[in-house]
Structure 1
Amino acid sequence: MKKIAAIAVMLLLPALPAAAGAEGWTSYRIPESGTSVDIPSSIFTEEAARPDGYGMRYRTGDGRADITVQAVPNDGSSPAVFLARKNPPSGIIYKRITPRFFVVSSIRRGKIWYNRCNFAPRYVHCVLINYPAAEKRQWDAIVTRVSRTLSGG
């Protein structure tokens, strides 16, 4: 009975493409800033509105998740000051701030939001991902790869 229940749950959850394979990923680059990051192009298939600065926002076909790759000019602020100016919501579950980057994550309206920004002399290179909290385990490896591949000029 447990096996049947597990199969039923797996069938009811929206399927994530097999994004762990190399064929499901693309290296996205912002030429103006040198920002680059691997994104699961087999999951984020639709372009959405452009963010401030340079970059692009993509979403899943059903709109349940999105990713933003963005670069903004670095005004010399530290990661802590930059983050504070963005007025992040209270109740952040995970926060790590170093002299070269910050990472914050929390849950809002049933979605996990994840934001990482790396600081370079000319630009702040960021990636923001929003996805259903109920699918956290399915997204963990994706978020980890995106985060680890974010780099810039």
Structure 2
Amino acid sequence: MNTIPSRRHVLSGLAGAGAATLLHPGVASAANADEPDEVDYVVVGSGPGGSPVAARLAEAGFTVAVLEAGPAHGNQTYYKIPALWPRTVSDPQVRWDYYIRHYSDASKHGEQFVPEQDGVLYPRSATIGGCTTHHAMVTINASPDDWRSLQDATGDRTFHPDRMWEH
């Protein structure tokens, strides 16, 4: 059974979330009477990708709406006590369990492969801050060997480790 929602399912859910924001702004956002009828940009997701994009657009003078699929937060205790951040991964209020496949040959995934889900668990989070809530904003950079491997596999020199650090 595939538990990853289809793109159509996700987009219709986001459309519903956007409609909920428009219909019930007090519930879904920090709405006030000064909200514009139109915005320059809509950013989907408030995680480590969407939040900086939205902030930079706003700093540049654009009006921005950020759509987030989940609540403002899950279990309050997990977010207020830093040592409990690993529990956010299993917080049912915000967790999304995606299963992904990197290889067509399931055996290449090793012991992490879950046959019943046809993939490897790739937990995501639906909440303000997105997946930063799952990893307490800890970042582990890819090894230069990983970038070299990707460069070799694709033949694309832009994946050279030194070039990737520019991003």
TM-score range, shorter chain: under 0.3
Q: Which protein has the bigger helix share?
A: 2
Larger radius of gyration: 2
- Relative to the length of structure 1, the TM-score reads 0.23
Q: Which protein has the bigger strand share?
A: 1
- Relative to the length of structure 2, the TM-score reads 0.22
